[in-house]
Amino acid sequence: MGVGIDVEHLNAWYGTNHTLQDINLNIPANHATALIGPSGCGKSTFVRCLNRMHETNPIARATGVVKMGEVDIYKDASPVDIRRRVGMVFQRPNPFPTMSIYDNVASGLKLNGFRNKAILDETVERSLKAAALWEEVKDDLKKKSGASLSGGQQQRMCIARALAVDPEVLLMDEPASALDPVSTSKIEDLIFQLKSQYTIVIVTHNMQQAARVAENTGFFLNGKMVEFNSTDKIFTMPSDKRTEDYITGRFG
């Protein structure tokens, strides 16, 4: 099951660029939370802070408190431990091109030392089923490379790879922006199904997508969280005029 995430006074920098400025919000467990806002407003930096990927950049740093359940991810756990608990799906599918579909999905488990074939087989099947891909690839698991799949299938395989290590949180950074409408619809259906088991945070430029899949939405602008509320309220009665201007297309 997913866990809630409490963010208090989160600030982040790339060099001297103050990318995130005093972010405070509570992300509820087992819900989908959408983050919207124009390009360069801090959304992707924010999700990278939630699994400590931000600090992999040598000129990047972050301060503040991010609690995942009872764990302060910057004080109580190593980056490796946090990344086991927090799966990440990127804007463009990133299969390991020389690996089979099976090995792509099992790669995280193998990296963590799992070698039991029965456990690997069961986890690969379970993860592909959870990603709604099993029926399409079950006969080609070890015959075809992950890179041979279509773009939408590759993205669902990458979701399966993230699920295979049994995370509590799933971060998605514009997971459907490079996909066709049919594949996008499948990813959205998948998000809807997965949020009963995981806490999902999705970055999206697609306002309709946020309205379809997320119970809560946060609006970022110039590194600040302008507004965070139920998705319905954000899109029908926003509290801040800047939010209204953005969702009605006046800027961004």
State the pLDDT at residue 138.
95
Q: Is residue 252 part of a domain?
A: no
| CA-closest candidate to residue 242, choices 25, 36, 26, 22 | 36
pTM for this structure? 0.91
Position 250 confidence tier, pLDDT thresholds 50, 70, 90: confident
State the pLDDT at residue 252.
57
Q: Which pLDDT tens digit goes with each residue over 34-50?
A: 999 999 999 999 999 99
Q: Is residue 197 part of a domain?
A: yes
Contact between 207 and 37 (Cβ < 8 Å): no
Express as a percent the part of the chain with pLDDT over 70: 99
Q: Is residue 173 part of a domain?
A: yes
CATH of the domain at 54: 3.40.50.300
Q: Is residue 23 part of a domain?
A: yes
**pLDDT over 90 at 178, yes or no:** no
Q: Is residue 109 part of a domain?
A: yes
Separation between Cα atoms, residue 246 and residue 108, nearest integer Å? 39
The mean pLDDT value for 95-123 works out to 91
Q: For the chain, what is the domain count?
A: 1
Contact between 19 and 13 (Cβ < 8 Å): yes
Q: Is residue 116 part of a domain?
A: yes
Position 170 confidence tier, pLDDT thresholds 50, 70, 90: very high
Contact between 220 and 43 (Cβ < 8 Å): yes
Q: Is residue 62 part of a domain?
A: yes
Separation between Cα atoms, residue 230 and residue 26, nearest integer Å? 12
Q: Which single residue is written with the structure tokens 């040598």?
A: 58
State the pLDDT at residue 111.
83
> Which backbone phi and psi does 96 adopt, to 5 degrees?
-80, 110
Helix or strand holding residue 18 (H, E): strand 17-27
State the pLDDT at residue 1.
77
The mean pLDDT value for 53-57 works out to 91
State the pLDDT at residue 14.
94
Q: Is residue 214 part of a domain?
A: yes
Domain extent, residue 205, equals: 5-247
Q: Which residues contact 201 (CB under 8 A, 6 or more apart)?
A: 5, 27, 32, 33, 35, 47, 50, 169, 170, 171, 172
